[in-house]
């Protein structure tokens, strides 16, 4: 089968579509014929070695985290799926990849594809859907009437998180460029800040939660808009000691991540705010709940561009420009 793989870290010329053996599912896995694969920023970061201390891959390694397709084979212990089922899943951090003609997927990472979505739409959802769910519902525990700030509202995470926050009953503020104001308002954003004209920390106040999606000093600035007892759930770091402990890292890594996050945690505590680093994990049951919201039309996928598999490298390069409105998807078939 064909797959997009990277052979070495840090070398763009080592990423290529190659022929590799078709995988065999383990007893707790399903084998999926991939129809479409959704791209995420981390798919560009991994081959560069950005997450080498955290994520372990056996090189050469397949790229891609999100997929939608049809089950063609099931392992001996699988009970939830059968051949012919249309599914979607995130296989991020599971040692395999989605940018391939076939992919092994643990049974507990997959969910049935919402019938009203095509494969391209379904493939755009898993990582941004699970990240939004785990940040806003599990970590921030958003309640009706609370206020949440979700910056970069026109991006892959933003377009989904805004809709989920509105479903949870929250009031949502976001940032975007002038050209995307109508898009984020159509998704439910209540307060939209054009970052080219205003600074969000000068406009917003008394917020209950921030979803940290923008690198640089945006996390520190966001502390100014939060009220005591609120939370920052950061997707961009710095990683903290609790994250290292949860992944079973050694004492040195726990110490290192504690050191890296010490400054932001100290500043957050001064304002009575909790800081938390979030690293998304695959979860088929959560994805099934998200699928019900998609099926009911409470949330809709937002897709910027679709590339054929032969242009997977170009698709990743386009995503890296940061200009995509919503998701970028690779169509396998």
C-alpha 147/C-alpha 200 separation (Å) is: 14
Please state, for a pLDDT cut of 70, what percent of the chain lies above it: 100
* Domain of 245, in residue numbers: 128-277
Summarize the confidence of residues 24-31 as an average pLDDT.
97
Report H helices in 9-68. 42-48
One domain, residues 136 and 197: yes
CATH assignment at residue 111: 3.90.180.10
Summarize the confidence of residues 272-285 as an average pLDDT.
96
One domain, residues 190 and 272: yes
Q: What local confidence, expressed as pLDDT, does residue 90 receive?
A: 98
Task: Count up the domains in the chain and report the number.
Answer: 2
Summarize the confidence of residues 302-308 as an average pLDDT.
98
What values do phi and psi take at 110, rounded to 5?
Answer: -105, 160
CATH assignment at residue 238: 3.40.50.720
Give the H or E element holding residue 301. none
One domain, residues 95 and 141: no
One domain, residues 273 and 132: yes
pLDDT in tens, 166-200: 999 999 999 999 999 999 999 999 999 999 899 99
Closest CA to 262 of 245, 228, 238, 246: 238
One domain, residues 148 and 168: yes
Confidence at 50, pLDDT banded by 50, 70, 90: confident
C-alpha 253/C-alpha 175 separation (Å) is: 34
One domain, residues 272 and 137: yes
277 SS3 class? strand
Give the H or E element holding residue 5. strand 2-6
Beta-bridge partners for 234: 212, 277
C-alpha 44/C-alpha 106 separation (Å) is: 23
One domain, residues 169 and 213: yes
Q: What local confidence, expressed as pLDDT, does residue 215 receive?
A: 84
Beta-bridge partners for 176: 194
Q: What local confidence, expressed as pLDDT, does residue 89 receive?
A: 98
C-alpha 126/C-alpha 132 separation (Å) is: 10
Cβ atoms of residues 198 and 221 within 8 Å: no
One domain, residues 177 and 246: yes
pLDDT in tens, 196-248: 899 999 999 999 999 999 888 899 999 999 999 999 999 998 999 999 999 89
One domain, residues 146 and 11: no
Confidence at 55, pLDDT banded by 50, 70, 90: confident
């Amino acid at each position: 089968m064909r797959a997009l793989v990277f052979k070495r870290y840090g070398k763009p010329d080592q990423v290529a579509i190659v022929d590799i053996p078709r995988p065999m599912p383990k007893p707790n896995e399903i084998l999926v014929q991939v129809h479409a694969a959704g791209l995420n920023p981390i798919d560009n970061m991994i081959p560069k070695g950005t997450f080498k201390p955290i994520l372990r891959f056996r090189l050469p390694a397949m790229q891609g985290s999100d997929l939608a397709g049809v089950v063609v084979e099931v392992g001996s212990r699988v009970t939830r799926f059968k051949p012919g089922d249309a599914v979607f899943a995130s296989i991020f951090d599971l040692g395999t990849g989605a940018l391939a003609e076939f992919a092994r997927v643990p049974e507990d990472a997959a969910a049935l594809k919402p019938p009203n979505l095509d494969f391209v739409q379904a493939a755009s959802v898993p990582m941004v859907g699970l990240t939004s769910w785990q940040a806003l519902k599990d970590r921030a525990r958003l309640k009706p009437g609370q206020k949440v700030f979700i910056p970069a509202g026109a991006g892959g995470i933003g377009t989904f998180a805004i809709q989920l926050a509105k479903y949870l009953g929250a009031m949502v503020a976001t940032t975007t460029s002038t050209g995307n104001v109508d898009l984020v308002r159509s998704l439910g954003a209540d307060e939209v800040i054009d970052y080219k004209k205003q600074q969000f920390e000068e406009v917003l106040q008394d917020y209950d939660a921030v979803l940290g999606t923008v690198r640089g000093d945006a996390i520190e600035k966001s502390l100014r808009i939060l009220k005591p007892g609120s939370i920052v759930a950061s997707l961009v770091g710095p990683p903290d000691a609790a994250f290292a402990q949860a992944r079973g890292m050694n004492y040195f890594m726990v110490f290192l991540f504690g050191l890296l996050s010490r400054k932001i945690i100290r500043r957050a505590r001064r304002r009575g705010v909790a800081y938390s680093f979030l690293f998304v994990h695959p979860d088929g049951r959560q994805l099934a709940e998200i699928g019900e919201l998609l099926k009911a039309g409470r949330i809709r996928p937002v897709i910027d561009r679709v590339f054929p598999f032969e242009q997977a490298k170009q698709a990743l390069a386009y995503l890296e420009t940061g200009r995509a409105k919503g998701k970028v998807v690779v169509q396998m078939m």
